[in-house]
Amino acid sequence: MEIDKEKLQQAQLIIDNLANGINPIDGAALNNIDVLNNVNIIRSFFMPHKYYKD
């Protein structure tokens, strides 16, 4: 299976934005969205990024 690097980079950008509290659609700060304020959810966003960069 061939990896579409452009789609992978776009997905990573979306994950990075969410993990950093940024709405990936408009770039605005995320309001108090309960699921995105859960530390375990946010940590899970950073985990794949750590391995993707290495």
Q: Six-digit token pair at 10?
A: 């776009």
Q: Could you tell me the pLDDT band of residue 37, with boundaries at 50, 70 and 90?
A: confident
At position 17, the amino acid (one-letter code) is N
Report, as an integer, the average pLDDT of 8-16. Answer: 87
Which pLDDT belongs to residue 27? 93
pTM score, two decimals?
0.69
- Indicate if the pLDDT at residue 54 is higher than 60: no
Three-state SS for 2?
coil
Q: Could you tell me the pLDDT band of residue 26, with boundaries at 50, 70 and 90?
A: very high
